[in-house]
Structure 1
Amino acid sequence: MTSPPDTSTVARVAAVLQTLAAAEGELPVSAIAQQVGRERSQISRMLKALAATGLVEQNPDTRGYRLGWQLHALAAKAGDQRLVRTAQPILRALVAETHETALLSVPQANRSFTILRERSTHSLQAGGWVGRTSPLHVTASGRALLLDSTSEEIRELITGDLGASGYGPNALTSLPTVLARIAQERERGCTVADEELEAGLVSVGAPVRDAAGHIVASLNISGPTSRMLRCIDSYSTAVKAAARRLTTAQARTHRP
């Protein structure tokens, strides 16, 4: 019988790959080891093993590591690709209408995981949100994923993040506050996070549903407070309409 995988090793491999995914370019072994919190020699051996499979690549000149093309090929087959393909033109249309960056996210454990981004020409951000996870209670994308959840389900999902440091000045810090906000947003059909995740950032989100009516993703736009708050009502209308279009398109693509 094959032995079960060492979950600690799996977790370390996942941490290394996630660290490289979040980087803007190559990373030296020392930087990866520091971010993962492991010995340099241990991470070096792991990277060599991953490089042998093509999941990471090493630049022969700089000796830095980056994600490999083999991982890109695997990622192309991950998740619901019909959702991504269907969402792309809808996100582009939303960017054209609002001139703000549009994102598509899905639930991943107790996080909102961004799988697609259409960037606005107004965006000055060099990096991207794709592949990043965010707390559910302080993001428009996250709370949109929670709109159908019960109070107990919400408590279980967000308790570990409530009161954590490093969020924006308007971050929600208690369960009653989060539940009250979600109740209000459930009535409106959209979510607004005003400097909750980080200072100067506002986001508007809405849920995307499958053919059975279950929330499977969230669509949102985000931008600087100075622009977003001036047009929050029109942006909310646009995001809800885009989410409805994606919901309808999803239902069509999943018909037998």
Structure 2
Amino acid sequence: MAARPTSGLRRDADLLDVLAGQEARMRGGLGVTRIAELAGREKSQVSRALASLAEEGLVERDPETQAYRIGWRLYALAARTGEARLAYVSAPFLRRLVAQLYETVHLCVLRGNGVLTLVSESSPHAFRSLGWEGVMVPALHTSAGRVLVSDWEKPVLRAWFPEEQFADLPPGQRIRSIDDLLKEIRTIRARGYATADEEFEAGLVGVSAPVRDHRGRVIAAINMGAPKGRMGQRLDAAGRTTARCALELSRALGYETAADLGGAPGAGTPGQSR
């Protein structure tokens, strides 16, 4: 059977496969000659193709070593694809949590210093929060934001949230300094969820719990918000329920706790990063 002609797109995909391979990852990139060898193509053709891919952000070239590596656009596409899968997988877990708490719940991710709501599942209550999908709010003002940075190292937190970010905060905010934030993160790690009591908005309370990927990293937060008169006395119970739901979702994404691994040393636990 005659070989099928290879399209330009297929040839470009072959180059991307080479740059995504183990050798390129271990060396931090590859030169044109080595890429051509691994792809089985002419060096001049590969050089022209890489230049075109670099113009589109699909690969990038190190200005010092001249080595090529995967570009920013592929990482951006992968992140968006990952979030789309996260939103899809989370749907039944969020619905079950609504049925348990009888309150609206949200799936949130971090965007810079802000929290973005990817998905919301509404409660049957007439008085409920609506219209949060796609809305960004400051991370420091919310329980979800604090959960989303709860597995960060202390130096990173200090660099990411300099003291000037704590100036002119609304009166209801508990977290008024980097030391307050570090103390809050210790609490989140210990109990597996965060709470907010009229910090984001007067009369509202909330809880959030971390969702982890297969590496144990916090990639999202499940958040519940409700009027204080309806949920204020049950906030910690809601936090524990939300944490269980977040752990179940994390397991669906490949996360394994010490119990899942039969108590293996060094394995992750619900309140700690692995």
Bin of the TM-score, shorter chain as denominator length:
0.5 to 0.7
Percent identical residues: 33
Provide the TM-score with structure 1 as the length reference. 0.64
Q: Deviations over 1:151-180 (max 9, x none)?
A: 222223333532344x46234221111211
Residues 207 and 219 in structure 1, CA contact (< 8 A), matched pair in contact too: yes
Residues 111 and 134 in structure 1, CA contact (< 8 A), matched pair in contact too: yes
> Structure 2 regions of 5+ residues with no counterpart?
1-50, 56-79, 256-274
* Paired residue type of 1:104: L
Who is 2:167 aligned against? Answer: 163
Report matched runs for 1:238-249 at 5 Å. Answer: 238-249=241-252
Residues 191 and 206 in structure 1, CA contact (< 8 A), matched pair in contact too: yes
How far apart, CA to CA, are the structure 2 residues paired with 1:187 and 1:88?
27
How far apart, CA to CA, are the structure 2 residues paired with 1:199 and 1:245?
31
Pick closer, same or farther for the CA change 1:210–1:103 going to 2, 3 Å.
same
Partner secondary structure for residue 222 of structure 2: strand
Provide the TM-score with structure 2 as the length reference. 0.60
> Structure 1 regions of 5+ residues with no counterpart?
5-76
Residues 104 and 128 in structure 2, CA contact (< 8 A), matched pair in contact too: no
Partner secondary structure for residue 180 of structure 1: helix
Matched, 1:178 2:181: yes
Who is 2:222 aligned against? Answer: 219
Deviation for aligned residue 1:148: 0.5
Report matched runs for 1:19-168 at 5 Å. Answer: 80-122=83-125, 124-125=127-128, 127-159=130-162, 161-165=165-169, 167=170
Question: Which structure has the bigger radius of gyration?
Answer: 2
Residues 200 and 225 in structure 1, CA contact (< 8 A), matched pair in contact too: yes
Partner secondary structure for residue 251 of structure 1: coil
Pick closer, same or farther for the CA change 1:90–1:123 going to 2, 3 Å.
farther
Residues 111 and 133 in structure 1, CA contact (< 8 A), matched pair in contact too: yes
Q: Deviations over 1:75-112 (max 9, x none)?
A: xx765221111101110100000011100011111111
Residues 204 and 220 in structure 1, CA contact (< 8 A), matched pair in contact too: yes
Residues 122 and 130 in structure 2, CA contact (< 8 A), matched pair in contact too: no
Q: Deviations over 1:174-216 (max 9, x none)?
A: 1111211111121111100111111111110111000111111
